[in-house]
């Protein structure tokens, strides 16, 4: 079974966090947010990062994540470049949004945008498809596209010039992400890993990739494809332990990214079946192709994996309604922050919505420290702390 580090069972967390903090202070880490997806399930007409996600202030995902980067940067006194991957359609909107909002205080030179590529979609018969508007049907090449695009766009080169050695990678749609978590970074460094991932215990049938060992190599297998792997389990594949779900949080060494870009034939393509409206208003089934960032794992010399708690770090915004919908995400944020209050000795009613700005506190212990000796006046049904 894959080795998964569980901080709850370990006594060396302080030492690891210290290693991570030193590295952040040296200014050798960047942050990459992949935001090039089409967010079809959310049915939001703008790029997903612009979605007003927080329970009280309705901060957008971009604003919240940028504030997290800024808070880490202020806390450790280091400049942290923030990379945002867009797609050719969303690029201009995202750039304008950041400009209009003064780059959320990060400074223009610290925010670097680059575009992922598009891949043509085909009909199941393998034919190119013309969309309703007469253009060739195509779609972004998956979050794995960031490896190639970061180098082709020249952004990776700029990072190297700035002395950046690795990237903290996350998805735009998880507002609970602990940006550049020092413990995770410390564990990555001590493991001398090329690639690290965070996982949570999977819920039965949950649509996340599973961390496992297949053919003696660490890998993540996407939920759609896990059954195929299991079917082959009796033959060449040795597949064990399926309860570690990857949450799209990684640390990736730039040198490893570079070797992947220049040496390997690139990441494999995965086929997704979708529907598309074509000329004349007819809807047809199409195949689109995507690469996944975690397919880099089997190429890595060393991989490290750390388990975390879902309540603290994972609430993905995926669907318009039902599971992982905006309501779910707001609830998850509010209950986490309510827990921070409770453990700092402040009681709040269950119905009170709570939102704590990342610029006030980044985690539970940071919050407890800052609240010492302070009083809070609770009014009404919601509480925002900044
Ligand atoms: P998802 O695979 O959940 O896709 O992306 P999505 O675009 O958000 O939503 P659906 O499937 O269309 O409903 C997980 C993360 O990967 C990014 C997304 O922006 C999100 O942060 N991603 C996905 C890309 O950057 N590029 C892609 O081509 C696909």
- What are 101-142's pLDDT values in tens digits? 999 999 999 999 999 999 999 999 899 998 888 889 999 999
- Tell me what pLDDT residue 187 has: 97
Q: Residues 131, 122: contact at Cβ < 8 Å?
A: no
CA distance 78 to 196: 22
Residue 237 pLDDT exceeds 80: no
pTM score, two decimals? Answer: 0.95
Q: Write out the two tokens for 247.
A: 């949450």
Q: Return the number of other C-beta atoms located less than 10 Å from residue 275's C-beta.
A: 8
Place of tokens 């992400």: 177
Q: Does the CB atom of residue 37 touch ligand 1 within 6 A?
A: yes
Q: Write out the two tokens for 113.
A: 């945008």
Q: Return the number of other C-beta atoms located less than 10 Å from residue 69's C-beta.
A: 24
Count of CA atoms in the C-beta half-sphere (13 A) of 205: 1
Q: Write out the two tokens for 16.
A: 């690891």
pLDDT in tens, 337-379: 999 999 998 888 888 999 999 999 999 999 999 998 887 777 6
pLDDT in tens, 32-42: 999 999 999 99
pLDDT in tens, 179-236: 999 999 999 999 999 999 999 999 877 889 999 887 788 999 987 777 766 665 544 4
Question: Using CA positions, which residue lies closest to atom 25 of ligand 1?
Answer: 36
pLDDT in tens, 250-299: 999 999 999 998 776 689 999 989 888 887 788 889 999 999 999 999 99
Q: Does the CB atom of residue 35 touch ligand 1 within 6 A?
A: yes
Of the pLDDT bands very low, low, confident and very high (cuts 50, 70, 90), residue 78 is very high
Count of CA atoms in the C-beta half-sphere (13 A) of 274: 19
- Tell me what pLDDT residue 235 has: 43
Atom of ligand 1 nearest to the CA of 174: 21
Q: Return the number of other C-beta atoms located less than 10 Å from residue 292's C-beta.
A: 22
- Tell me what pLDDT residue 228 has: 67
Q: Does the CB atom of residue 49 touch ligand 1 within 6 A?
A: no
Nearest alpha carbon to residue 276 among 161, 75, 135: 135
Count of CA atoms in the C-beta half-sphere (13 A) of 26: 14
% of the chain at pLDDT higher than 90: 76
Nearest alpha carbon to residue 164 among 176, 181, 180: 180
What spacing in Å lies between the alpha carbon of 38 and ligand 1's midpoint? 6
What spacing in Å lies between the alpha carbon of 142 and ligand 1's midpoint? 7
Of the pLDDT bands very low, low, confident and very high (cuts 50, 70, 90), residue 51 is very high
Q: Does the CB atom of residue 143 touch ligand 1 within 6 A?
A: yes
What spacing in Å lies between the alpha carbon of 371 and ligand 1's midpoint? 37
- Tell me what pLDDT residue 238 has: 46
């Amino acid at each position: 079974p894959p080795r998964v580090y569980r901080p709850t069972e370990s006594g060396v967390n302080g030492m690891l966090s210290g290693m991570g903090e030193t590295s952040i202070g040296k200014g050798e880490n960047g942050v990459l947010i992949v935001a090039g997806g089409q967010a079809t399930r959310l049915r939001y007409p703008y790029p997903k990062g612009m979605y007003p996600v927080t329970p009280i202030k309705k901060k957008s995902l971009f604003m919240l994540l940028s504030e997290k980067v800024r808070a880490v940067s202020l806390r450790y006194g280091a400049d942290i470049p923030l990379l945002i991957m867009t797609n050719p359609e969303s690029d201009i909107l995202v750039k304008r949004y950041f400009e209009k909002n003064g780059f959320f205080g990060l400074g223009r030179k610290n925010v670097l945008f680059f575009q992922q590529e598009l891949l043509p979609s085909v009909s199941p018969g393998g034919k190119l498809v013309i969309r309703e508007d007469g253009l060739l049907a195509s779609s972004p090449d998956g979050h794995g596209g960031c490896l190639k695009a970061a180098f082709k766009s020249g952004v990776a080169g700029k990072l190297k010039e700035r002395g950046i050695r690795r990237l903290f990678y996350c998805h735009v749609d998880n507002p609970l992400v602990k940006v550049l978590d020092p413990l995770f970074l410390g564990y990555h460094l001590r493991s001398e890993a090329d690639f690290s991932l965070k996982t949570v215990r999977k819920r039965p049938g949950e649509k996340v990739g599973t961390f496992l060992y297949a053919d003696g190599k660490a890998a993540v297998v996407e939920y759609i494809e896990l059954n195929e792997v299991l079917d082959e389990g009796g033959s060449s594949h040795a597949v064990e332990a399926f309860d570690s779900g990857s949450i799209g949080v990684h640390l990736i060494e730039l040198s490893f990214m570079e070797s992947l870009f220049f040496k390997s034939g690139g990441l494999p393509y995965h086929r997704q079946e979708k529907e598309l409206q074509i000329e004349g208003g007819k809807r047809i089934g199409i195949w689109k192709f995507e690469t996944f960032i975690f397919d880099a794992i089997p190429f890595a010399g060393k991989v490290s994996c750390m388990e975390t708690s879902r309540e603290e770090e994972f609430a993905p915004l995926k669907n318009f309604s039902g599971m992982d919908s905006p309501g779910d995400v707001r609830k998850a944020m509010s209950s986490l922050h309510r827990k921070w209050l409770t453990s700092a000795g402040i009681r709040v009613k269950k119905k009170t919505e709570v939102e704590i700005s990342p610029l006030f506190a980044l985690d539970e212990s940071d919050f407890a420290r800052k609240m010492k000796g302070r009083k809070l006046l609770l009014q009404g049904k919601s509480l925002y702390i900044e």
